[in-house]
Amino acid sequence: MQMHKSIYFIIGFLFTINGCSTFQLNDKGLKERVVGCWYGESFQPVFENVSAWLIRRDTNGNFSIEFRSVDSSGEVGIQSESGTWEIKSGIYSTVTTGVAGQKVSPPYIDVYTIQSLSAKKLTLIHDETKLKFESKRVGCDYHMP
């Protein structure tokens, strides 16, 4: 009976070690999977508009994004941003250092929880506003409709 308890303890311990040791690999895997170009659009109740975005994440940690918003009067606003991105402990964050080609100081920092990620779809929840951003993978030659 003592032998069975020892085996179960060892098996449980190995699963625990394996789960802990792969977490950093998961971050690397997540980083590799979000690199590229992604497009999304949705109604954003906090801003009271329909927003669309096209983001390019590079392997070197840089990003560029273009936003397009349409308010209730039909007015269209366009804004571009650039900066750096990273994933640590499963949390995605951006540091925006440029808006419309101009340097911003201090930079804007946004933090997101990765709700889901597949080869074709990424869902982020903005930690502060709780807004949901769903994006689909697109070719980097894609243009917003």
CA angle in degrees (0–180, nearest 5) for 48-81-66: 60
- Ranges of each domain in the chain: 2-138
Q: What is the pLDDT of residues 109-122, one digit of tens each?
A: 999 999 999 999 99
Tell the CATH topology of 2-138: Lipocalin (2.40.128)
CA pair distance 98, 21, nearest whole angstrom: 36
Q: What is the pLDDT of residues 68-97, one digit of tens each?
A: 998 888 888 999 999 999 999 889 999 999
Quick check: 58 pLDDT over 80?
yes
Predicted TM-score (pTM) of this structure? 0.78
What percent of the chain stands above pLDDT 90?
Answer: 61
Q: What is the DSSP letter of 61?
A: S
